[in-house]
Amino acid sequence: MSRAFVKEPDGDAVQDDTPDIPISPHPNYVTATGLRQLEQQRDDLVAERAALKAGPDPVAVKLALFPVERRLRYILARLDSAILKCPVQTETVAVGHAVLVADDAGEEQRYWIVGEDEADIKAYKVSWVSPLARALIDREVGDLVKWRRPAGDRELEILEISLPGGA
């Protein structure tokens, strides 16, 4: 068969058919900490890309660059669309606030409402688009909120709204 009818790269040409990382359709709210994390990830990826480009094998370099450049495109898009939320002490919960809640058994837990890229449930940082954050945002101390979860709804009382540094 003639090479004209074969869709394979020639020689050192390498193709990456992996799709880009999906971008959330929601506004990209970030806290100051989240913005610094995105900037640090960008800087790390730029440095990693430069180090990889110095490699001796062009095919290996291209293969190694694909995931780094994919992640870098994602981070750059997130930085470009970032909407910085600098919370102030208010009566109502907003992105960037730490919120102390108690469940119906009296067990207390503090959550920090953050941007999507910053969420880390192990650190009790919940994305502002999560069901928990959605239940808390725009509510006040003393309010009872229903946290709708796949494991069953829970009722939480808001005990305190604070800035993260005071948490």
pLDDT at 167: 41
- Is 158:143 a contact under the CB 8 Å cutoff? yes
pLDDT block averages, 10 residues each, the chain of length 167: 53 71 96 96 96 85 91 98 90 96 95 97 96 97 94 94 75
Question: Could you give the CA distance from residue 113 to residue 30 in angstroms, rounded to a whole number?
Answer: 10
Sign of CA dihedral 34, 39, 40, 41: positive
- CATH T-level assignment (fold) for domain 25-84: Helix Hairpins (1.10.287)
Written in H, E and C, the secondary structure of 76-140 is: HHHHHCEEECCCCCCCECCCCCEEEEEECCCCEEEEEEECHHHCEHHHCEEECCCHHHHHHCCCE
pLDDT at 58: 80
In the chain, where the domains are located: 25-84, 98-166
Q: Which CATH class is domain 98-166?
A: alpha beta
Question: Could you give the CA distance from residue 67 to residue 35 in angstroms, rounded to a whole number?
Answer: 22
